[in-house]
Structure 1
């Protein structure tokens, strides 16, 4: 019997990038004779009550055999898991991926190479900058330095600061938010790698470069070209994906000293159109093959 699935994306965000991802997944599922329905996250409300755990606004009462969760609404993902539906990626892996601090903690726990990182202390009220933290960060990491908010996408919420004055100003601006101080990897200025991992395999990869920005994100103006990763880079991307418990992910690697790769970020819901435009590889085909193989006996 062919499996039926749902694909869930966030319908409240501007642009068609997230719907585009969902439609690519839907097309890949159809090639495998799996019928899918695309939902916006606000079309499936989680309902809780006495002896009640369900979804509202469902077109029918039948739950799917699987869900591809192209969103960061982890409470909805968890609701589906509690209802017994396999969710890809899991709510926990999406949560870890979305929180850069949690990501680095899991990477460090698994002894994977990352830039040196200090987690800024939590401050709830705005006031004077925490001078002790700033001085310790400068002492341990040096200047220039990266300041990175825990939550952000497309290279935004990442700042390169050059002086102590800039650092104090940025730290003051971010009071009340979760963020980190991080070593600046000058050898990777304006360039990085995106490796797309599915299961135990790197299925596509590209190098991204920016002429006038320390960030290489294509959405921030960077260019891209197909890239053949080394065995070390592939193994690191796969290990990073496993470290956060994801089934598939877009892993961003920096070029450390002597081209030693460092993990920069892990994206549990990495968009796949740029990768296709760059390499001609449709990552969604690999994702659906992986999912359907994993649930075939359920």
Structure 2
């Protein structure tokens, strides 16, 4: 019997809720389910996946475990063809990929300048203040900062350089809409508009004022293309739509969080995930 192996890193990213949804979908589909916690599993006695099994990394971590378990004839959302995987938690790496490939995105300095010497020229090239600083490993808006003056920028950068973390510096775009589109394969299976608090500039979690919203075929096609370019078949693509209606990709999140879509919106994402991965496993194991 086909078994789906769901990887998670402790309780990060609502792992328990994600695994519960997938376990129930596997039961409905008549396949086996096994959750593996990359923080506590026995790396000397890992399971050996068989042709036609499924490997689903449900969050951003567990990439070492995913690399150890991967084989060519199993179902997976990875489409990049790599035999090893890097940390999917650094969404700024996907920003660089999309910039390289010409996708519409805010103007970006993909690494903080090593000194403050050329800051005026950098600020001008990004369109002036305010500017946005984004940490590579942030989530739920944590690590995204807005800077509105040169003296603030200088002092903030002086500190950030001491942290040893990766950051990018970006143009600020005033939003008309801040959207999340969830892409599965070549379809958008759910989309929502984030609310923004009047005293903030970041999108709030869906349960804090978000609403379902469709954004039209052009923006859906852009989201699908972005997910494909990032080598993953199940992504959450965040897009900011400016006051003139122009879309800009903020980031791609592989895999997308899907708990709210399932539990709050009534979209059977768990069943969709399992069906997609079963089809992928059958195709690869022929």
Interval of TM-score (by shorter of Structure 1 and Structure 2): 0.7 to 0.9
Cα offsets for 1:64-112 (capped at 9, x unmatched): 5111111322222111126965443479697474223321121122221
Greater strand share, structure number: 1
Number of aligned residue pairs: give it.
275
Aligned equivalent of 2:236, options 250, 258, 267: 250
2:77 is aligned to 88
* Alpha carbons 1:197, 1:251 under 8 Å: kept: yes
Q: RMSD over aligned Cα, in angstroms?
A: 2.5
Partners of 1:241 and 1:247 within 8 A in 2: yes
Cα distance change, pair 80–62 in 1 and its aligned pair in 2 (3 A): closer
| Counterpart contact for 1:206–1:278, Cα < 8 Å | no
Is 1:75 aligned to residue 75 of structure 2?
Answer: no
Q: Which has the higher contact order (CA 8 A, sep 6+)?
A: 2
Bigger Cα displacement from structure 2, 139-148 vs 61-70: 61-70
Q: Out of 195, 203, 217, which is 2:204 matched to?
A: 217
Q: Tell me if structure 1 keeps the 8 A contact 2:63–2:87.
A: no
Q: How far does the alpha carbon of each residue in 1:24-77 deviate from its partner, in whole angstroms, 9 at most, with x for none?
A: 1121222211111112112335xxxxxxxxx4244xx54251111113222221
Q: How does 1:111-260 map to 2 (within 5 A)?
A: 111-121=102-112, 130-141=115-126, 142-175=128-161, 176-188=164-176, 191-212=177-198, 213-218=200-205, 222-260=208-246
**Cα shift readout 1:176-226 (whole Å, capped 9, x = no counterpart):** 3211110000134xx51111100000011111112222111317x841111
SS of 2:238's equivalent in the other structure is: strand
Q: Is the 8 A contact 2:75 2:279 kept in 1?
A: no
Change (3 A) 1:122 1:68: farther
**Rounded Cα–Cα distance in structure 2 between residues aligned with 1:280 and 1:82:** 33
| Deviation for aligned residue 1:236 | 0.7
8 Å contact from structure 2 (residues 76, 277) kept in 1: no
d(CA) in 2 for partners of 1:110 and 1:230? 23
SS for the counterpart of 2:282 is coil
> Which ranges in structure 2 are unaligned for 5 or more consecutive residues?
none
TM-score with structure 1 length normalisation? Answer: 0.84
- 248 and 257 in structure 1: CA distance in 2 versus 1, 3 angstrom threshold: same
Shift of 1:252: 0.8
**2:185/2:233 contact within 8 Å kept:** yes
Q: Is 1:108–2:99 an aligned residue pair?
A: yes
Structure 1: 5+ residue stretches without partners: 46-54, 124-129
